[in-house]
Amino acid sequence: MRLLSIYVHRFLPISLALSISLLVGGLLAFVAGESPIVVFRTLLLDTLGSLDSIAYVLFNATPLIFTGLAVAIGFRAGLFNIGCEGQLYVGAFATAWTALAFSWLPAPLLMLVTIVSAMLAGGIWGAIPGWLKARFGAHEVINTIMMNFIAVASVDYLVLNFLKEPGQMISQTAKIPEGIRFPRLSSFLDFLPQSHPLEISFILALLVACLLFLFLNRSVWGYEIRMMGLNPEAAIRAGISESRTLVFSMGLSGAIAALVGVWDVLGYHYRFVSGFTSGWGFLGIAVALLAKNHPLGVIFAACFFGLLSKGALDLELFTAVPREIVLIIESLAILFLIVSERVLLRDRETRG
Amino acid sequence: MTELIAANIRIATPLVFAAMGGIFSERSGVVNIALEGMMLVGAYTVAAGTYWTGQPVVGLLMSIIVGILFAGIHAVACVQFEADAIVSGVALNLLALGVTEFGVVSTFGHVATSEQIPGFQEWSLGPLGSYSPLVFLGLLIVGVSYLVLFHTAFGLRLRACGEHPKAVRATGLSVRRLRYAGVLISGALAAIGGAFLVLDTHYFTRSMTAGRGYIALAAVIFGKWKPFHSAGACLLFGFAGVLQGRLQGWRIPSQLVEIIPYVLTMIVLAGAIGRATPPAALGRQE
C-alpha cells in the first residue's frame, strides 16, 4: 500500500506528463507529414541502438547534470536559481582566463586552479542574488534573470576587448594549453571512435551528484539547507542563520553551474567561445523538477533529456520533422508535470 | 535629434506593450516571466498571418488571438491548477521557442527567417518624423491601462487580487476569474509587442525577441507596477538601446551600456532608489 502511494505521488505524475507530451509530439510529427511511429523509433529506440550513440546521450547529459544539480540545490533551500546561464558563462570565462594567464604553472596544478577559479566566479555570481535576498529581501528570481544578461554582456565585452584571439572574426579566446585539456573517454574505451566527444567531465558530474547527495543528507550545512527549504520559520527559530543559508546555497548552486563552463572550455571547445551556451540553465530547471530535486535522480533525468536531444539530431537527419519538436516535447513535459502534481496533491488533500 | 527620438520610440514601443501586459498579470497576483515567450509567439503569428492573408491588420488580429491562447496555458497552469508560475513561465518560454521555430520551418520552408512581410503605412507627424500606427496604439494603451487599473471597478478588483485575494473572495467575487483576465490581457498585449517587431523590420527571425520580454519585465519592476512609470522605464531602457547603436565611434563600450537596464532594476529592487514593493500577494495562491 505504501509502495503504491509512493508510486502515485512520485512517479505517476512523471509518467503521465512524459506520455502526454510524447503523444502531443507524435501528433505534431503527424501534422508535419511523418509517421509518429517512425519519429518515436528515431527519438527513443534508435538512439539506444549502439554504444556509440548511448555515449552521445551521456555527452549531452553532462551539462544538464551540472545545471540540474545547481537548480536542485537552490530548490532544496527554497530558492529558485534561474541564473545558471549567467553563472556558467562567467564560469567558462574564468576557466579560459585562468588557463591562459597562468599557463606557466605545471599542468595538473593549472587544471586544479582553473576549476577552482571557475567555481569561485560562478559561486560569487550566484551568491550575489542570495545576498541581495538576505539583505534587502529582493526576490532572487528577478535578480538571477538580470544577472544572466549582465554576465553575457560583460563577459563578451572582456573577451572582445582583452582576450580575443588576434586575426579572428569570431569572439573567442586563444586555445588553452594541451596539458590541461580533459582526456576523452575514447582513449580508455576501445569501442568508442577517437573523435567521440565524451570525456571525463561525465565522470566528474556523477561524482559531484554523489557528493551533493552526501552533503545534503549527511552534513550539518546540508541539513540546514533542507530545513530552510522545508520550513524557514522553524529553521530560523531553531537558530539557523537565514542569511548564511541563503548566500551559501546560492553560492554553491552557482559554483556547480560554473562546472558547465569548465566542461565546455577544458573538455570540448578548448577555448572560450562567445555564446557557447544553448539553454542548459533553463533545461536544468526541467531536469531538477523531473528528479524531484534528488541529486541522484538528476543523473537519470539529465540522461533522459540527453536522449531527447540526441534523438533530435537524428530526427533532423533522417525524417522531415524539424528538431524543434523536441523543445516542444520538453516544455510540455514540464507543464504537464507541474499540473499533474498539483492535481494529485489536491486529490490527496481532499481525501483527507 | 528627431532621428534619435524616433529611434528611441521604435525601440521602446514593443517594450511598452509587453510591460503593460506584465502589469496586468502581476497586479492580479500572477508572476509573468513568460512575457518573452508571449512576444515571440505574437511575432511569429503576425508574420505567418500576414504572409497568408497579405493583410497586416489580419495578421495582427491573429497575433492577438494566439497571444491570448498562449497566455491561456499560463492561466490554466497557474490560476486553475495553482502550479508554480515561475516554472510555468520558463516552460512557456521554451515552448514558444520550439513552436515558433517549428512554425517557421513548416510555414516558410527555410530555417532561419520568414519571407518579407508588409507592414503598416507610417503616419507622419511633420517635423517630428513618421511612426507606425502601433506607436500611437501603444501610447493609447498606456493611458487606457492606467484608467482601467486605477479608475474602474474591474481594475480595483484586479489589483485587490494581487494584494489581498482573501478579501476579494469574501466579497463574493471570483479571484480565479479576475486572474484569468489579468493573464489573458498580458498575452494579448505582449503579442502586439512582438508583432510590432515583425511589422517594423518586415521579417521574422528565430528567437528575434532576444530578451525583450525580460527587459519589459524589468521595466514593470523599475516602474513599480504602474503604467506611466513603467512606460517611462521603457523609454529610458530604449534610450540605452539607442546609445548602444551610436557609441561605436566613441570609447564607451556598447556592452556596458547594454547592462544599464538590468543593473538599474537590481538597484531599484534592493530599495536604493525608492523601494519597489511588489503586489503583496504576487505569486501566492488564494
What's the CATH code of the domain at A169? 1.10.3470
Is A135 in the same domain as A20? Answer: no
Q: Which residues pair with B15 in a beta bridge?
A: none
Domain-located, residue B249: no
- What does the alpha-carbon distance between residue A97 and residue A103 come to, in Å, rounded to a whole number? 10
Asked if A161 and B262 come within 8 Å (Cβ–Cβ), the reply is no
Is A223 in the same domain as A171? Answer: yes
**Residue (of B245, B198, B235) closest to B19 by Cα position:** B235
Is A326 in the same domain as A214? Answer: no
Domain-located, residue A60: yes
Domain-located, residue A47: no
**Residue (of B68, B71, B65) closest to B85 by Cα position:** B71
Q: What angle do the packed helices A51-76 and A201-218 form, to 10 degrees?
A: 30
Interface of A with B in 97-156 (CB under 8 A): 132, 135-136, 138-139, 141-143, 145-147, 149-150, 153-154, 156
Q: Is the pLDDT of residue A158 over 70?
A: yes
Is A203 in the same domain as A156? Answer: yes
**A339: nearest CB among B77, B101, B218:** B77
Q: A78's torsion region: left (phi>0), alpha (psi -120 to 50) or beta?
A: left
Interface of B with A in 210-229 (CB under 8 A): 211, 214, 217-218, 221
Is A302 in the same domain as A351? Answer: no
Long-range contacts of A170-174 (CB under 8 A, 24+ apart): A170/A273, A170/A274, A171/A273, A171/A274, A172/A269, A172/A271, A172/A272, A172/A273, A172/A274, A173/A96, A173/A97, A173/A100, A173/A271, A173/A272, A174/A100, A174/A271
- What does the alpha-carbon distance between residue A71 and residue A212 come to, in Å, rounded to a whole number? 12
Is A235 in the same domain as A287? Answer: yes
Is A297 in the same domain as A285? Answer: yes
**B90: nearest CB among A153, A154, A282:** A282
User: Which pLDDT belongs to residue A350?
Assistant: 58
**B255: nearest CB among A28, A157, A326:** A157
Residues of the domain holding A139: 52-319
At B185, list the grid cell: 490581457
Count of CA atoms in the C-beta half-sphere (13 A) of A280: 31
H or E element that contains B4: helix B2-27
Q: Sorting pLDDT into bands at 50, 70 and 90, what band is A16?
A: confident
Is A301 in the same domain as A349? Answer: no
User: Which pLDDT belongs to residue A193?
Assistant: 81
Q: Sorting pLDDT into bands at 50, 70 and 90, what band is B19?
A: very high
Enter the ipTM. Answer: 0.89
User: How does the average pLDDT of chain A come out, rounded?
Assistant: 89
Mutation pick from B254, B262, B275 vs chain A, by most beta carbons of A within 10 Å, is B262
Is A126 in the same domain as A241? Answer: yes
CA distance B246 to chain A (A): 16
Q: Return the higher-pLDDT residue of B50 and A189.
A: B50
Instruction: Say how many Å lie between the first and final Cα of chain B, rounded.
Output: 50
Which letter does DSSP use for residue A319 in this model? S
**Residue A348 at interface with chain B, using a CB cutoff of 8 Å:** no
Q: Is the pLDDT of residue A1 over 70?
A: no
Domain-located, residue A42: no
Mutation pick from B250, B255, B285 vs chain A, by most beta carbons of A within 10 Å, is B255
**Residue (of B36, B283, B38, B4) closest to B162 by Cα position:** B283
- What does the alpha-carbon distance between residue B189 and residue B35 come to, in Å, rounded to a whole number? 9
Domain-located, residue B62: yes
Residue A175 CB burial class (10 angstroms; 0-12, 13-18, ≥19): middle
Of A114-128, A169-183, A283-297, B108-122, minimum mean pLDDT range: B108-122
- Mean pLDDT along residues A1-28: 78
- What does the alpha-carbon distance between residue B15 and residue B214 come to, in Å, rounded to a whole number? 9
User: Which pLDDT belongs to residue A352?
Assistant: 41
Render pLDDT for A123-135 as a digit per residue (tens, 0 to 9).
999 999 999 999 9
Domain-located, residue B33: yes
Domain-located, residue B280: no
Domain-located, residue A325: yes
Q: Return the higher-pLDDT residue of A303 and A25.
A: A303
Domain-located, residue B226: no
Is A326 in the same domain as A302? Answer: no
User: Which pLDDT belongs to residue A348?
Assistant: 61
User: Which pLDDT belongs to residue B150?
Assistant: 96
Q: Sorting pLDDT into bands at 50, 70 and 90, what band is B121?
A: confident
Tell me the chain A residues in contact with residue B270 when contact means C-beta distances shorter than 8 Å.
132, 135-136, 138
**B73: nearest CB among A136, A156, A335:** A335
Q: Sorting pLDDT into bands at 50, 70 and 90, what band is B248?
A: low
Instruction: Identify the residue whose cell numbers are 557609441.
Output: B247
Residue of B nearest to A344 (CA): B81
Q: Sorting pLDDT into bands at 50, 70 and 90, what band is B100?
A: very high
Of B4-13, B111-120, B180-189, B203-212, minimum mean pLDDT range: B111-120
Q: Return the higher-pLDDT residue of B31 and A346.
A: B31
- What does the alpha-carbon distance between residue B243 and residue A300 come to, in Å, rounded to a whole number? 47
Fill in the amino acid letter for A147. M
Is A216 in the same domain as A338? Answer: no
- Mean pLDDT along residues A304-320: 85
Render pLDDT for A37-90 as a digit per residue (tens, 0 to 9).
888 888 778 888 888 888 999 999 999 999 999 999 999 999 999 999 999 999
User: Which pLDDT belongs to residue B273?
Assistant: 61
User: Which pLDDT belongs to residue A113?
Assistant: 96
Render pLDDT for A327-348 as a digit per residue (tens, 0 to 9).
898 899 889 988 988 887 766 6
Percentage of chain A modeled with pLDDT above 70? 96
Q: How many structural domains compose chain A? A: 2
Candidate ranges A124-133, A278-287, A306-315; pick with highest mean pLDDT: A124-133
Residues of the domain holding B103: 2-217
Render pLDDT for B137-177 as a digit per residue (tens, 0 to 9).
999 999 999 999 999 999 999 999 999 999 999 999 999 99
User: Which pLDDT belongs to residue B286?
Assistant: 65
Asked if A338 and B33 come within 8 Å (Cβ–Cβ), the reply is no
**Residue (of B234, B180, B147) closest to B30 by Cα position:** B180
Which letter does DSSP use for residue B131 in this model? E
Q: Return the higher-pLDDT residue of B250 and A336.
A: A336
**B255: nearest CB among A153, A282, A285:** A153
Render pLDDT for A218-274 as a digit per residue (tens, 0 to 9).
999 999 999 999 999 999 999 999 999 999 999 999 999 999 999 999 999 999 999
Q: B211's torsion region: left (phi>0), alpha (psi -120 to 50) or beta?
A: left
Range list of β-strands (E), chain B: 123-124, 130-131
Percentage of chain B modeled with pLDDT above 70? 95
Is A142 in the same domain as A95? Answer: yes
- Mean pLDDT along residues B52-68: 95
Q: Which residues pair with A173 in a beta bridge?
A: A164
- What does the alpha-carbon distance between residue A76 and residue A79 come to, in Å, rounded to a whole number? 7
**Residue (of A168, A163, A182) closest to A98 by Cα position:** A163
